[in-house]
Amino acid sequence: MPKSMKDNRAVRMLKAAEEGGYGVIGVVSYNLETITAVVRAAEKKRSPAQILLFPWALHYSPLLIHLAVAACKTAKVPIVLHMDHAQSEEEIIAASEYDFDSIMVDMSHYEKEENLEKTRRITKVLHEKGIATEAEPGRINGGEDGVKDTEDLEGLLTTAEEATLFVDTKIDFLAPAFGNIHGNYWGVENIKLEYDRLEKIRAATKGRAQLVLHGTNTFPDATMQNCIKGGMTRCNVNELVLHTYSKYVAENTGKVPLTELMGKGTDLIQELIEYQMDVMGSTGKGDVLY
């Protein structure tokens, strides 16, 4: 029998965010510095947080996964571990052998019917292990480092009808496409979100699944907050963190000791995360028991 998901830490965290009207930051982590920064920021701001890993971590080294698991388990505030954009059944099953609280069943590179079939079947498997699931109806345009390249596929906006079909597969979280894209918008003026579409999606899924936000690169604070008002409960900030850290490392490698490079890089990421926690309204919410 499938396990009840009511005690799943990720489900409880995002339901609390939905009820409280704030967002939980999701940070894709490629290294020790990012994972450390997430924990330090969450503990300092007394905020919940999510560490996100891409399937790349499965192939790079299980040690990175074990590090993230340990960070979540030893943190003094609620932090959960999510596998984002898992795009093959083999990777999803492999990830389910680790202590992930949730896994994104990203079959958006398939046509809708096949996407639905795979999402439904894999969700059942993961729920039997107590792991929450996320899916992407439609297709968010663009690509991200560490994820199978889908930039050549046409972005497809989510409809309320599609959102309902995906929630019917019993997923826990839904990542809608409403004008948001992965990667660079090439200017704030190119951020064109359809809030009316988001409101219809929210109405179609409310009480059945929490909405999660992808593609926030260069979002002004007000845009992020409007998305949260529109029902988003987890907001990913992958590109912002990666670009800031990479730029610092590129400019300072060979100029300062490695320990200083790692330390300052961690500090920069922590500052970004703390700022976004304030923007998202999650500061001080980590003292709630999940």
Half-sphere exposure of 241 (CA within 13 A, CB side): 31
Q: Between 290 and 240, where is the model more confident?
A: 240
According to DSSP H, which parts of 52-111 are helical? 56-60, 62-74, 89-95
Residue 139: the pLDDT is 64
Residues in the chain, total: 290
Q: Of 7, 84, 172, 196, which residue is the catalytic one?
A: 84
Residue 245 lies in a domain: yes
Model confidence at 144: pLDDT above 80:
no
Average pLDDT over residues 136-149: 61
Q: Report residue 214 CA to chain centroid gap.
A: 7
284 three-class SS: coil
Residue 265 lies in a domain: yes
| Residue ranges of the binding site | 85, 106, 136, 182, 214
Catalytic residue check, 99: no
Model confidence at 154: pLDDT above 50:
no
Residue span of the structural domain in which 197 resides: 5-280
Give per-residue pLDDT as tens, 191-244: 999 999 999 999 999 999 999 999 999 999 999 999 999 999 999 998 888 889
The number of domains in the chain is 1
Nearest alpha carbon to residue 269 among 221, 237, 231: 237
Percent of the chain with pLDDT over 70: 92
Residue 3: the pLDDT is 64
Contact assessment for residue 236 and residue 173, using Cβ atoms and an 8 Å cutoff:
no
Model confidence at 12: pLDDT above 80:
yes
Residue 285 lies in a domain: no
Model confidence at 65: pLDDT above 80:
yes
Residue 224 lies in a domain: yes
Any bridge partners for residue 24, and if so which? Answer: 234
Average pLDDT over residues 38-45: 98
**pTM over 0.85, yes/no:** yes
| Residue ranges of the binding site for Zn(2+) | 85, 106, 136, 182, 214
Residue 289 lies in a domain: no
Query: Quick one: tokens of 213?
Result: 């936000």
Residue 290 lies in a domain: no
Q: Domain with 101 in it: what CATH number?
A: 3.20.20.70
Residue 288 lies in a domain: no
Residue 286 lies in a domain: no
